[in-house]
Chains A and B, each alone.
Chain A
Amino acid sequence: DTGVSQDPRHKITKRGQNVTFRCDPISEHNRLYWYRQTLGQGPEFLTYFQNEAQLEKSRLLSDRFSAERPKGSFSTLEIQRTEQGDSAMYLCASRGRRGVEQYFGPGTRLTVT
Chain B
Amino acid sequence: AQSVTQLGSHVSVSEGALVLLRCNYSSSVPPYLFWYVQYPNQGLQLLLKYTSAATLVKGINGFEAEFKKSETSFHLTKPSAHMSDAAEYFCAADFGNEKLTFGTGTRLTIIP
Count chain B residues whose beta carbon lies closer than 8 angstroms to a beta carbon of A: 24
Chain A residues within 8 Å of B90, by CB: 42-43
Chain B residues within 8 Å of A106, by CB: 42-43
Interface residues of A in 53-105 (CB under 8 A from B): 55-56, 91, 93, 100-105
Contact in complex: B99, A42 (CB < 8 Å): no
Q: Which 10 A-B pairs have the closest CB atoms?
A: A42-B102, A104-B43, A104-B44, A45-B99, A106-B43, A107-B43, A100-B32, A101-B49, A105-B43, A43-B102
Chain A residues within 8 Å of B42, by CB: 106-107
Q: A43-B90, A100-B94, A101-B34 are in contact. Are A33 and B99 (CB under 8 A)?
A: yes
Chain A residues within 8 Å of B103, by CB: 42
**Contact residue among B41, B49, B104 (Cβ-Cβ distance under 8 Å from A42):** B104
Contact in complex: A4, B43 (CB < 8 Å): yes
Q: Which residue of A lies closest to B46 (CB)?
A: A101
Q: How large is the interface on A (under 10, 10 to 19, 20 to 34, 35 or more residues)?
A: 20 to 34
Contact in complex: B104, A45 (CB < 8 Å): no
Q: Which residue of B lies closest to A3 (CB)?
A: B43
Chain A residues within 8 Å of B46, by CB: 101-104
**Contact residue among A33, A48, A104 (Cβ-Cβ distance under 8 Å from B36):** A104
A55, A102, A103, A107 pick with most chain B CB within 10 angstroms: A102
Q: A41-B104, A42-B90, A45-B101 are in contact. Are A91 and B44 (CB under 8 A)?
A: yes
Main SS of chain A's interface residues?
A: strand
Residue contacts A-B, CB under 8 angstroms, 10 given? A33-B99, A40-B104, A42-B103, A42-B105, A43-B102, A44-B102, A45-B99, A45-B100, A101-B46, A104-B36
Q: How far is the CB of B44 from chain A (nearest CB, A)?
A: 4
Task: Judge whether A31 is part of the interface by a CB distance below 8 angstroms.
Answer: yes
Give the complex CA separation of A101 and B105 in angstroms. 18
Interface residues of B in 81-103 (CB under 8 A from A): 90, 92, 94, 97-103
Task: Judge whether A29 is part of the interface by a CB distance below 8 angstroms.
Answer: no
